[in-house]
Amino acid sequence: MAKPVLLLLPGLLCDDAVWRDQRASLTQADCVVPHYGMARSLGEMARIALAAVTAPRVSVAGHSMGGRVALELARIAPERVERMALLDTGVDPLAAGEAGAKEVAGREALLRVARTAGMRAMGREWARGMVHPDRLDTPLFDEILAMIERSTAERFAAQIEALIRRPDARGVLAGLRCPTLIACGRQDAWSPFSRHEEMHRLCPGSRLAAVEQSGHMTTMEQPAAVTGLLREWLSA
């Protein structure tokens, strides 16, 4: 009997390293991590992810931007989604007015650093807000910088465009009727736990979980805790 398929969707500038520990531990599933290439929209990323698997129904877990891709996948092909896990992510579109303009300006400033000083230099600036303070300048932080450095400024620009043009996914989340996990690092400063509490309220029957002693990069910062949550979710 074939194993169930688990589609693991990485976030901004992340690759399969962000899911390394989960892939190694969740042996009850056939884990697939797609590569988005130069996709410039979340919908295009979702279609690439769908094309990476042939199973008629799949379990989908998305981290950060990958959570938004997961919801676009559910929008495009709801019949293929058996269960959904959303980690350290969000559902709102770009805010109107000053708040949205500030986000765009911040992302464009990071892109300028990537283009002028290189991806690792940009990562040193950006990723400091992505992990628990205790993990700054540790081997794990170096792993995150190495992952960022494996990408390019051109791909960064494409993914920034996708995030700036992100659609409102609140309706998709509210319409989910499959086992749904919503989880977040307790100290996630980028996508805070309060946001995930709101998402939990939007999605009837979902499970909400906090990953303790973790910032935004939960899958790498607290791999055993995240794997445990996903194992329970897969058996739901």
Q: For residue 48, what is the domain's CATH number?
A: 3.40.50.1820
Residues 15 and 47 in one domain: yes
88 and 171 inside one domain: yes
Domain match, 145 and 211 both: no
**One domain, residues 173 and 229:** yes
**In a shared domain, residues 67 and 14:** yes
Spans of the chain, pLDDT less than 50: none
Q: What amino acid occupies position 11?
A: G
Decide which of 161, 185, 208 is a domain's last residue. Answer: 161
| Domain end point (choices 138, 161, 184) | 161
How many folded domains does the chain comprise? 2
Bridge partners (DSSP) listed for residue 209: 183
Is residue 15 located within the same domain as residue 88? yes
Same domain, 145 and 189: no
Report yes or no: 201 and 53 within 8 Å, Cβ to Cβ: no
Q: What is the pLDDT of residue 1?
A: 67
pTM of the shown model = 0.97
CA atoms within 13 A of residue 27's CA, in its CB half-sphere: 2
In the chain, beta strands by DSSP E: 5-9, 30-32, 58-63, 81-87, 180-185, 207-211
What is the domain range of residue 120? 97-161
What is the rounded end-to-end Cα distance, in angstroms, of the chain?
19
Q: Are residues 64 and 153 in the same domain?
A: no
Query: Is the same domain home to 9 and 90?
Result: yes
Q: Examine the domain organization and report whether 208 and 146 are in the same domain.
A: no
Q: Both 73 and 175 in a single domain? A: yes
Q: What is the pLDDT of residue 197?
A: 98
Which of 161, 196, 215 finishes a domain? 161
Residue 145 gets the label, from left (phi > 0), alpha (psi -120 to 50) or beta, of alpha
36 and 104 share a domain?
no
Q: At what angle do helices 119-126 and 139-149 cross, to 10 degrees?
A: 130
Helix axes 119-126, 153-164, angle to 10 degrees: 40
